[in-house]
Copies of this chain bind each other. A is one copy, B any other.
Amino acid sequence: MSTTDTTTSAQDTVSSGETQPAGHHGGHGYNSDKPKYLARLKRIEGQTRGIHRMIDADEYCIDILTQISAINSALENVALALLEDHLNHCVASAAEEGGPVAEEKLAEAAKAIRRMVKS
């Protein structure tokens, strides 16, 4: 991925980073690894831009498919890591408390897993 990519990407997101209120939603499972997640998404965004360029440059279809499979796999890994963090934090603390909130969190997680498996 070119230098232009990185520059453009950094610019895209700097504003949201600045307006983010400190400490807000501090309980999310993924928060401790936030920089790592952001870097992974940046890379995936660059890979997506790469597919755009490959099509624009009339590259060979099979090579484009290989790249798309790589992006799908990278996105799945991000989703699985987010889900794991979510189970370990939000769902686990809801389960500790029990009651309808715990049930709701579990049902919600189950639906997300279903979408991931079925897509």
Contacts and interface: CB of A to CB of B under 8 A. Distances in A.
Contact of A24 (B11, B24, B58, B84): B58
A110 B29 contact: no
A55 B13 CA distance: 11
Interface in A66-99: 66, 68-69, 71-73, 75-76, 78-80, 82-88, 90-93, 95-96, 98
Closest 8 CB pairs of A and B: A95-B95, A25-B58, A41-B52, A61-B86, A84-B110, A45-B48, A92-B95, A69-B115
Interface of A: 4-5, 8-9, 11-13, 16-17, 20, 24-26, 28-31, 34, 37-38, 41-42, 44-45, 48-49, 51-53, 55-62, 64-66, 68-69, 71-73, 75-76, 78-80, 82-88, 90-93, 95-96, 98, 102-103, 106, 108-110, 112-119
